């Protein structure tokens, strides 16, 4: 079975500082990986996805993530954060073991708080 671990439940940073949100996954087969962002009392919005090809994936709002197969990681980064980036971030994995009935497994989330 697949699983996702987000190593930090909360990450406080100052505005314009760089940030990295860590995500590790476990799966016995090839995976697809996603990062989502959730603002208070809203649904989830896709930030970026890794399907295949280049291991460095660029997403919306200046975020990027790097897929590392040997370390089974998919960490999210942004070189300079803004107050508006304050939100909860979820890493998710989808693997091919379920055949046609695939499922997304989500991590428990990382609350990013950007302080002025």
98 lines the binding site for another protein (CB under 8 A): yes
Burial of 13 (0-12, 13-18, 19+ CB in 10 A): middle
Work out how close the CB of 102 gets to another protein at its nearest, in angstroms, rounded to a whole number: 4
Q: Give the binding range for another protein (CB under 8 A) out of 19-27, 53-61, 63-71, 98-106.
A: 98-106
The whole-angstrom separation of Cα 89 and Cα 76 is 9
Contact residues for another protein, defined by CB under 8 A: 9, 32, 34, 36, 41-46, 49, 51, 90, 94-96, 98, 100-104, 106-109
């Amino acid at each position: 079975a697949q699983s996702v671990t987000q190593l930090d439940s909360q990450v406080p940073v100052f505005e314009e500082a760089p940030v990295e949100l860590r995500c590790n996954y476990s799966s016995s087969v090839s995976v697809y990986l996603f990062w989502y962002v959730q603002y208070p009392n809203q649904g989830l919005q896709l930030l970026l996805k890794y399907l295949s090809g280049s291991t460095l994936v660029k997403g919306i709002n200046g975020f990027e993530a790097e897929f590392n197969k040997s370390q089974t990681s998919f960490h999210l980064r942004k070189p300079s954060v803004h107050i508006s980036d304050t939100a909860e971030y979820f890493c998710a994995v989808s693997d091919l073991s379920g055949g046609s009935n695939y499922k997304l497994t989500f991590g428990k989330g990382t609350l990013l708080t950007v302080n002025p």
